Structure formats: C-alpha cells, structure tokens
Amino acid sequence: MNIVLFGPPGAGKGTQAKKLAGHYKIPHISTGDILRANLREGTELGLAAKEYMDKGELVPDEVLIGIIKNRLAEPDCQVGFLLDGYPRTIPQADALSGILDEISKPLEVVLNIDVPDNELVIRLGGRRMCSCGASYHIKFNPPEMDGICDTCGGTLYQRDDDKDDAIRQRLKVYQEQTQPLIDYYNRMGILVTVDGTGDIDEVFADICDMLDK
C-alpha cells in the first residue's frame, strides 16, 4: 500500500500513522520526526531546520525532497509506505510523482483527515511528547501517570512549535501552502477525506474501513 496521510497540524496524522503502520505492516515515514531526530543528534540538517520549525515555517523544498528520495529508496519501502507530513507544497508533490514514477510505485490514496481549526488548536496545545516517539494529549489521550511515558517511563515534554504563536503560524502556512494539494490530488482522483473529529479509535476504524475497500 502506497499512502499519503494528509491534514492540517494536529489532525492526528502521527497518531493514526503509528496505528496504521502496525496494522498494515508498512513503514511510517514522518518528515517532522526525521527532522526532529536530526535536531536531537545535532546534525547540520537538524540545526538548519530548527529555525524554520520553531517559527512554524516550512523547511525549504529541496531539503525535504532529498530526504524523501533517500528514504523511499530504503529496502523496507518495497512493501509500501505511509507518508506523514509530506508533501506539503506543490513542488514537493511534483517531486514525489517523479520519484515514484522512477521506482514504479504509484501513489494509491491520499487520505485527508479533516478537523476544524478550533479543535486543532486544542489538540496541539495539549499534546505531550516522549523522546521514544510516543505522543499523548493531557485530556484526550493522557498517560497513566502525569508527565510520564507509559511505554518507556521517560519524561514528557511539549514540542517547541506547540506554543501559541507557532501553532497560529503553522495553521496559516497550512492554509496558504499545503491546502492547495487537496485540489491537486482530487484532480488526480486519489483523494479521500475522512472525518477526524471522532475519538482516536473511531477515526482509526473509519480509515481502515476505507482502505480495506
């Protein structure tokens, strides 16, 4: 299965992608996670990306296109892939088509998770992360012990771009630069929109129903 999980910041792309990757046994490729891992390791790429990410701006297209090209060439993508957070601009989408043509792996579906802005702000403001990759919400998906990861016992933290100013900027950038991709993939006939406002398991069940069709 070759899938793009699409949607605004806070729609639940990462949350659903983790569950889908386990269910369908395909790799979850999150460009945000790749950039944050680079930042933790202090690579040149990570340091360059940080100034854009903290402000809620997009990292330049050529950087992301290079990352995706390399990642899709890795052997685990033979069985398919689930992209999360890429593409985010028309040039990124055009580049993806070119890369997938070269490796003869056409995109099958772009799954658009639809959630209204007021709900996105609440989800992002209450999100807490763990360095192991687990993610929580203080109200909608709380850990068993306040501030502690259920999976690894690590201390939870808030993403730098989950502060008010950066959240507002990310939503604006989404509307201006990313939302046009809905029309782009609609014209290609591969866009499917799911209602992302139910709870995590309800949305997961809807997505699986849709993909199994």
Which residues here bind ligand AP5, judged by CB under 6 A? 7, 9-15, 31-32, 35, 52-53, 56-59, 64, 85-86, 88, 92, 123-124, 126-127, 135-137, 140-141, 161, 170, 199-200, 203
Total interface residues for Mg ion by CB under 5 A: 1
Count Cβ atoms within 10 A of the Cβ of residue 81 and give its class: 0-12 exposed, 13-18 middle, 19 or more buried: buried
d(C-alpha 12, C-alpha 125), whole Å: 13
For residue 139, indicate whether it is catalytic: no
Binding partner selected for residue 191 from ligand AP5, Zn ion, Mg ion, none, CB under the kind-specific 5 to 8 Å limit: none
The answer to the question of residue 8 lying near Mg ion (CB under 5 A) is no
Residue that is written with structure tokens 């403001």 in the block: 125
Angle at 48 between CA 72 and CA 100, to 5 degrees: 15
For residue 168, indicate whether it is catalytic: no
b/e for 3-18, b at 16 or more Cβ within 10 A? bbbbbbbbbbbbbbbb
What values do phi and psi take at 182, rounded to 5?
Answer: -60, -45
For residue 71, count other CB atoms closer than 10 A to its CB. 18
Nearer to Zn ion, 103 or 152 (CB): 152
Per CB under 5 A, which of residues 63..92 are in contact with Zn ion?
none
Binding partner selected for residue 132 from Zn ion, ligand AP5, Mg ion, none, CB under the kind-specific 5 to 8 Å limit: Zn ion
Q: To the nearest whole angstrom, how small is the minimum distance from the Cβ of residue 70 to Mg ion?
A: 20
Among 96, 130, 166, 171, binds Zn ion (CB under 5 A): 130
The answer to the question of residue 149 lying near Zn ion (CB under 5 A) is yes
Best CA proximity match to 73, nearest among 116, 29, 10: 29
Q: To the nearest whole angstrom, how small is the minimum distance from the Cβ of residue 107 to ligand AP5?
A: 15
For residue 105, indicate whether it is catalytic: no
Residues marked as catalytic: 13, 88, 127, 159, 170
